[in-house]
């Protein structure tokens, strides 16, 4: 966790402590005084029955120790049979570095990140300002409605315009609320929620940001 990125991870540490699940947390911040919950995390580590509770919470005040050493933090997680999940929340440079390091270790499928905002650049490296989006058609199978999605319109806005209601929250492709099953067609994935394997499978998509690369989509809506 970096800075206020500790916020969503603290409840997870509490639940892991309650259930006796092994865990370790690395928390970075500008200075020790600005890093909240350090005392509570240390107490949770003691309550968890861990083999080495003193090493379960590692604080990295930037003014004392510099940035989090991801190579050290992730050491050993690529060992055969290791199924440890990695959760990361914080500023975008930390998340991008965690994604890069986990990919290098071959454990990208075990990384879970939570963002407070969508990154400035697209996940696939393409430039939206240079590459115009093509129009395409969306069929909402269950509701029996079809709509054209224009170059400046999202799928979720388009389907809502014809009366199809879809749960949503961030509308930036980072929360996963609007995930929708794809029945036919090829999605152009632009979210930060699904894994690379899930993108390749094309079985679902985040319709707040993702589009279509096949001219037509059939959605389970």
Distance (Å) of CA 187 to CA 13, 16, 150, 200:
36, 36, 15, 9
Q: Are residues 94 and 160 in the same domain?
A: no
Residue 1 has pLDDT above 60, yes or no: yes
Distance (Å) of CA 123 to CA 96, 97, 156, 187, 199:
10, 13, 20, 14, 12
**Residue appearing with tokens 């400046």:** 152
Q: What angle do CA 165, 186, 177 make, to 5 degrees?
A: 35
Confidence band (pLDDT; 50, 70, 90) for 34? confident
Would residue 131 count as lying in a domain?
Answer: no
Report CA torsion sign: 15, 179, 89, 68.
positive
Residue 217 has pLDDT above 70, yes or no: yes
Structural domain that includes position 187 = 136-219
Report CA torsion sign: 217, 111, 124, 2.
positive
pLDDT digits (tens, 9 = 90+) for 130-177: 456 899 999 999 999 999 999 999 999 999 999 999 999 999 999 999
Tell me the CATH number at 151. 3.10.20.30
Domains: count for the chain = 2
3-state secondary structure of 6: helix
Domain boundary residue, one of 84, 114, 144: 114
pLDDT at position 41 is 79
Does 63 or 130 have the greater pLDDT score? Answer: 63
Tell me the pTM. Answer: 0.72
Would residue 121 count as lying in a domain?
Answer: no
Mean of pLDDT values over 6-17 = 90
% pLDDT > 70, the chain:
90
Does 50 or 5 have the greater pLDDT score? Answer: 5
pLDDT at position 130 is 43
Distance (Å) of CA 219 to CA 13, 152, 183, 214:
37, 20, 5, 13
* Lowest-confidence segment of 98-102, 142-146, 161-165, 195-199 by average pLDDT: 195-199
Q: Are residues 108 and 19 in the same domain?
A: yes
Helices (H), 29-91: 38-47, 62-65, 70-73
Longest dimension (CA), the chain: 60
Tell me the CATH number at 34. 3.40.50.80
pLDDT at position 124 is 61
Residue 47 has pLDDT above 80, yes or no: no
Instruction: Please state whether beta strands 216-219 and 179-184 pair in parallel, antiparallel, or not at all (unpaired).
Output: antiparallel
Q: Are residues 82 and 169 in the same domain?
A: no
Average pLDDT, the chain: 89
């Amino acid at each position: 966790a970096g800075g206020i990125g500790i916020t969503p991870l603290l409840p997870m540490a509490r639940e892991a402590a309650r259930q006796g699940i092994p865990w370790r947390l690395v928390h970075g911040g500008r200075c020790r005084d600005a890093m909240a919950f350090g005392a509570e995390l240390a107490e949770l580590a003691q309550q968890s029955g861990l083999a080495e509770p003193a090493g379960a919470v590692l604080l990295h005040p930037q003014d004392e120790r510099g940035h989090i050493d991801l190579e050290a933090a992730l050491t050993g997680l690529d060992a055969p049979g290791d199924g440890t999940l990695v959760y990361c929340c914080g500023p975008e440079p930390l998340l991008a570095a965690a994604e890069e390091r986990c990919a290098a270790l071959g454990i990208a499928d075990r990384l879970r990140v939570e963002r407070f905002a969508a990154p400035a650049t697209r996940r696939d490296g393409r430039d939206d300002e240079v590459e115009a989006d093509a129009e395409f058609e969306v069929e909402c199978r269950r509701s029996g409605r079809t709509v054209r999605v224009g170059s400046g319109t999202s799928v979720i806005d388009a389907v809502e315009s014809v009366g199809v209601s879809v749960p949503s929250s961030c509308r930036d492709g980072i929360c996963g609320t609007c995930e929708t099953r794809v029945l036919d067609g090829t999605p152009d994935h632009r979210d930060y929620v699904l894994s690379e394997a899930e993108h390749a499978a094309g079985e679902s998509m985040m319709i707040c940001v993702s589009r279509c690369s096949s001219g037509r989509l059939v959605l389970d809506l």
